[in-house]
Amino acid sequence: MNKPFKVKLGSIEAVPMGQGLSFSVEGEEIAIFRSRAGEVSAIENKCPHANGPLAEGIIGEGKVVCPLHGHQFDLSTGKGCDRNESVRSFPAWIENGELYIDYSTTSPELVVL
Amino acid sequence: MKRRLVVIGNGMAGARAVEEILKRDPEAFDILMFGAEPYGNYNRILLSNVLNQTQSPSEIFLNTLEWYQENNITLHVGMKVTHIDRVSKKVFALKLSAEDIPYNKAIQGIDGDHFVEVPYDELIIATGSRPFVPRIKGSELPGVFLFRTIEDCDQIADYAKGCQKAVVIGGGLLGLEAARGLMTHDLEVSVIEAADQLMPSQLDLESANLLERAMGAMGLRVFTKTFTSQIVAKDGRVSRLIFKDGGILETDIVVISAGIVPMTEVAEKSGLKTNKGILCDDQMRTEDPHIFAVGECIEHRGLTYGLVEPIWQQVGVMADILTGVNSETRYVGSKTGTKLKVMGVDLASMGEKETDENDDEVLVYRDPNRGIYKKLIVRENKIHGAILLGDTGLSDSLMQLFMNEKELPENRGEILFGSIDGSKLLDAGDLPDSAQICGCNGVCKGEIVSAIENGNCSSVAAVGAKTKAGMGCGSCRGFIAQVIESVVGEVSYDASEHYYVPGIPFEKSQLVREIRSNGLKSVSVVLATLGGGQEDPTTKTGLASLLKTLWPKEYEDERDARFINDRVHANIQKDGTFSVVPRIIGGVTTPEELLRIAQAAVKYKAKMVKFTGGQRIDLLGIKKEDLPNIWKDIGLPSGHAYTKAFRTVKSCVGTDFCRFGLGDSISLAKEIEMRFQGVEAPHKVKMAVTGCPRNCAEALVKDVGVVAIEGGQWEIYIGGAAGSTIRKGDLLCTVDNPQAVIQYTSRFLEYYREHAKYLERTYGFVERIGIDLLKGILIDDNMGICLNLESKMQEAVDAYKDPWKEAEDPVYPFQFDGPQLIEVLQEAENNG
Ligand code: SRM
Ligand SMILES: Cc1cc2nc3c(=O)[nH]c(=O)nc-3n(C[C@H](O)[C@H](O)[C@H](O)COP(=O)(O)OP(=O)(O)OC[C@H]3O[C@@H](n4cnc5c(N)ncnc54)[C@H](O)[C@@H]3O)c2cc1C
Ligand code: SF4
Ligand code: FES
């Protein structure tokens, strides 16, 4: 099962303005963020540094700051901002007030320099 | 057409060479690099920290993928160059498979293999070295490791999990760093050294013996004069070492760190002259004028090096030649000095360790009880060699005197102990431009001077941002300040260093004025109005704290501007659970409260119950979803162990019970804690009240400390610290009643809230403003603001609400929820 598929996560109102909330999809934790400007994004809820819960991080300028040691990740690509590390990211969008993500079971692309 | 430059080896020398070339002429070459390791360039020196678990591998990378892209460098990682065809000027490389070790000699490439082939105009060989493996039977067994790459560190850490005992073969600098690193993996570690002492290349026998004692005290076993002849495995895992004299040592893991050998085979196979290393001249050229070599793989004037400083000098010369900036430059060899990077042991050594010359002066100072040994060899009034063990305070200055061949002060005591009048042993202003100031990042004085003169850098931070100087271990920052002083007369501070928060270009008083005059009451409004619409994540928490101080009642609290701890009023732990510290006022509790805490700890399965350093109880490992219920069950207010706010008042039993008590410290501690609990500040505030000058509550090292003295009086100390900084508090005043204590404390705390920088503890604040000025403002009221300070503080106190009340009434849905479970109906939702 390698094709992307659409997963409904429920009402967008669950995610507080400017913050994140974590969802457990197929046993994997995914962090959803909702910026004050109304954009939503979805990344893996597990910091590659030491498993910090990214959904609990502060966001801004399209980045999230991991609550444990402050590593930063781009919300749309999952790429680490100043280090050679990254998390999976998933397309996310709102339809009729409901939140959806494109959840692909393909393994993440290996990040090779 | 640009010339094509190919670099073999993407390590410290190869990548630095490219940086230096780009710095001189970014347009000169099309650059292509081969690196046998499967990632970009990292700081190999810091592998010691990776092994001892103080840094993660991701923290030691030097050049990011973006750096290669931005500079149009083609990077082939995981590819090993096998040979060079010097006639057609081509380089051949082979893709390594995942299991291949870059320094494995056997990987040569077989005819017919899939090769990459690239042409070059100029070629740099920077292949570094491989660990030397002495002839020991069994050195290829599973459980035997080398210590050279990130991969090695990963493998060692992984294998160490099932082990109890470890052995390091090799008692040199790296061997000791490896041994110390293994100790952090909870292993019992022994070091085996063939010579009759540790670190034979850097230490004389006496200092080596002292070092052995210091390592022994840390729990490390050292065996000198011991030769390993065989490593034996049992059930497919290493189990013991057998020594030449027949001795046996049981072990579960072995790390070999017995020296290094330059990697010369690419050069050799391509017909270039090699000896110990690849031979090159004073311009870093091999015998082929289009092939250069730098780093640990070379031999220059009969010497090979195993340190980074010589590399910075070599690549500078080579870059000058290759870009034509200066075709006369020469590398004449390097003087070297080293520091042992082992926590708890201070050791530096430079130049020669011993001398036979009768004319040399040898100065030795020994204090074996304290583990101190200093030896200086002086030749013609210059340092010829030095060993400093146990006290390396002067080592940076001595290293500069040594490297730059400076004349020494007549009073030799000064080079052993520093001058008595506190004057400097060495003034950075007197150093030549070529003097290396920052050894970690290879920055010389000339570059710093040019950053100051041409780049308008007049602060240490600005120089660091421009040149990387001072951004490694930081020990050279004093020198950088001296260089700035010598060029522009005075060290300034960056305007941005003074911004209250990074995202908004105002220092605190300006920012406060803007916020007040525009009536800005929420973080998002401040960001939109003053921050140019940017919402820098690191700016938000500082603004939230400031706004709460400025508008105690009207502040519009936005939870997304808070750190997680302040969203859920508990400290996040490394595993994502939280800790709960209820308020125990003045450190005094009751059996009923203890019972409730105990029952809650059982009910919510606290992973640990611990008395904190702040005289209260911490329940650790509580799930986020359980927080509201545990707070309700405990029935005490929050202790604010998590937030930048007023925290605790430590107390001692005082007149209630103590036979020495002079003042009722418990009542006063309780009263103060009740009053100030939860009041937010630029950083945390901790207090203590103690019943007599014996000071059992440690009041002199608190942000505010109160000491009862004879005659019913109380002393108030401010700006004390005993955390990462130690500072004795300054006496603000002595008063004769508890109410005055509260009054002056209110004034000080409010003044601190309004004027300190974000995250500036009182120890920094009091030091910066100065106690005399503070006395004038807060005691003599010479600015006429004291009434105002007191009423502002009263407002903050009145606005306090216990955050744990949110248990009854969350401020947003899911505030305390764990992950939301989603059932995926694959068939129904699959749109693929
Ligand atoms: C729980 C406790 C350790 C303990 O088990 O005893 C503790 C735990 C933490 N301390 Fe502490 N400190 C604790 C007493 C201290 C003390 C001693 C004291 O309060 O009497 C100090 C020295 C005094 C001081 O505050 O300077 C202390 C100096 C620090 C520092 C260094 C501050 C500094 O500028 O020097 C930090 C780091 C920081 O604040 O940036 C820190 C940071 C931390 C953090 C918050 C680290 C973090 O961000 O996670 C720890 C939270 C652990 C947790 O989740 O509970 N902790 N910490 C103590 C709680 C006291 C309490 O009841 O509130
Ligand atoms: C644990 C440790 C701690 C250290 N601590 C210090 C210290 O405190 N101070 C200090 O000054 N020095 C220290 N050093 C030494 C320092 O790291 C080296 O001097 C420096 O890394 C040498 O740089 P280099 O570029 O010559 O070699 P390297 O950094 O080893 O780089 C060479 C690179 O070339 C690659 N390569 C080799 N052959 C080929 C090929 N045929 N094709 C493609 N790529 C190839 C290798 O895989 C390697 O990545 C330490 C070293 C270690 C291992
Ligand atoms: S000293 Fe404080 S910050 Fe450090 S580990 Fe202990 S509790 Fe954590
Ligand atoms: S776990 Fe995310 S930064 Fe450390």
Assign domain B3-130+262-323 to its CATH superfamily: FAD/NAD(P)-binding domain (3.50.50.60)
From residue B596, how far is each of B591, B599, B630, B673, B674 by CA, in Å? 9, 5, 10, 21, 21
User: Which residue(s) pair with B579 in the sheet?
Assistant: B571
pLDDT at B472: 60
Residue with CA at minimum distance from ligand 1 atom 45 = B642
Pairwise CA distance, residues B167 & B161, whole Å: 15
Atom of ligand 2 nearest to the CA of B44: 17
Least confident of B1-5, B52-56, B523-527, B739-743: B52-56
Pairwise CA distance, residues B67 & B57, whole Å: 18
Residue B307 amino acid letter: L
Chain B CA closest to residue A26:
B824
Answer yes or no: do B535 and A103 touch at CB < 8 A.
no
- In this structure, are residues B97 and B79 in contact, taking their beta carbons and an 8 Å threshold? no
CATH topology of domain B337-426: Enolase-like; domain 1 (3.30.390)
Each residue's pLDDT tens digit, B463-511: 887 887 876 656 677 788 888 888 888 776 555 666 788 788 887 877 8
Residues in chain A: 113
Of B704, B717, B706, B698, the residue nearest B753 (C-alpha) = B704
Atom of ligand 4 nearest to the CA of A54: 2
- Dihedral (CA of B782, B783, B788, B794) sign: negative
Question: Is a pLDDT exceeding 50 seen at residue B572?
Answer: yes
pLDDT at B825: 58
Distance in Å, CA B607 to ligand 4 centroid: 22
Chain B CA closest to residue A24:
B821
Fold match, B337-426 / B646-798: no
Contacts 24+ apart (CB under 8 A), B440-448: B440/B45, B440/B471, B440/B472, B440/B473, B440/B476, B441/B467, B441/B468, B441/B469, B441/B471, B441/B472, B442/B16, B442/B308, B442/B309, B442/B311, B442/B312, B443/B467, B443/B468, B443/B469, B445/B483, B448/B480, B448/B483, B448/B484
The response to whether residue B448 sits with its C-beta less than 6 Å from ligand 2 reads no
User: Binning pLDDT at 50, 70 and 90, where does residue B100 land?
Assistant: confident
Q: Phi and psi at residue B49, in whole multiples of 5°? A: -75, -30
pLDDT at B224: 95
pLDDT at A82: 67
Nearest-Cα distance to chain A for B431, in Å, is 35
The whole-number average pLDDT for the span B525-544 is 86
pLDDT at B475: 65
Tokens 């101080």 sit at which residue?
B549
Each residue's pLDDT tens digit, B372-423: 999 999 999 999 999 999 887 788 888 888 988 888 888 888 888 877 665 6
Residue with CA at minimum distance from ligand 4 atom 4 = A69
Instruction: Give the largest Cα separation in chain A, rounded.
Output: 40
pLDDT at B495: 57
Nearest-Cα distance to chain B for A21, in Å, is 7
- In this structure, are residues B526 and B520 in contact, taking their beta carbons and an 8 Å threshold? yes
Residues in chain B: 832
Answer yes or no: do B824 and A3 touch at CB < 8 A.
no
Atom of ligand 1 nearest to the CA of B573: 54
User: Binning pLDDT at 50, 70 and 90, where does residue A45 land?
Assistant: very high
At residue B141, the 3 state secondary structure works out as coil
Q: How many CB pairs under 8 A join A and B?
A: 136
The response to whether residue B396 sits with its C-beta less than 6 Å from ligand 2 reads no
Distance in Å, CA B9 to ligand 2 centroid: 9
Q: Which CATH class is domain B646-798?
A: alpha beta
Write out residues with Cβ below 6 Å of ligand 1.
B 571, 573, 579, 581, 610, 612-614, 616, 618, 641, 647-648, 686, 721-725, 761
The whole-number average pLDDT for the span B650-674 is 94
Of B60, B61, B62, B91, the residue nearest B76 (C-alpha) = B91
In B73-112, beta strands by DSSP E: 73-77, 79-85, 90-95
pLDDT at B731: 97
Distance in Å, CA B612 to ligand 1 centroid: 9
Contacts 24+ apart (CB under 8 A), B400-404: B400/B426, B400/B428, B400/B431, B400/B435, B400/B479, B401/B425, B401/B426, B402/B335, B402/B337, B402/B350, B402/B351, B403/B335, B403/B337, B403/B435, B403/B436, B404/B431, B404/B432, B404/B435
Domain boundary assignment for chain B: 3-130+262-323, 144-258, 337-426, 495-562, 646-798
| Residues of chain B contacting A99 with CB distance shorter than 8 Å | none
Least confident of B301-305, B436-440, B695-699: B436-440
Domain boundary assignment for chain A: 5-103
Answer yes or no: do A48 and B58 touch at CB < 8 A.
yes
> CB of A77 within 8 Å of any CB in chain B?
no
Q: Which of A46, A84, A86, A109 should be substituted to probe chain B, the one whose Cβ sees the most B Cβ atoms within 10 Å?
A: A84
- In this structure, are residues B715 and B707 in contact, taking their beta carbons and an 8 Å threshold? yes
Distance in Å, CA B195 to ligand 1 centroid: 46
Q: Which CATH class is domain B144-258?
A: alpha beta
- In this structure, are residues B800 and B677 in contact, taking their beta carbons and an 8 Å threshold? yes
- In this structure, are residues A10 and A99 in contact, taking their beta carbons and an 8 Å threshold? yes
- In this structure, are residues B563 and B541 in contact, taking their beta carbons and an 8 Å threshold? yes
Of B254, B45, B258, B251, the residue nearest B143 (C-alpha) = B254
Instruction: Give the largest Cα separation in chain B, rounded.
Output: 96
Residue with CA at minimum distance from ligand 1 atom 52 = B571
Total-model pTM: 0.57
pLDDT at B66: 79
Tell me the average pLDDT of chain B: 90
Pairwise CA distance, residues B473 & B652, whole Å: 41
> CB of A20 within 8 Å of any CB in chain B?
no
Question: Is a pLDDT exceeding 50 seen at residue B828?
Answer: no
Answer yes or no: do B558 and A57 touch at CB < 8 A.
no
CATH topology of domain A5-103: Rieske Iron-sulfur Protein (2.102.10)
Nearest-Cα distance to chain A for B73, in Å, is 12
Pairwise CA distance, residues B424 & B431, whole Å: 13
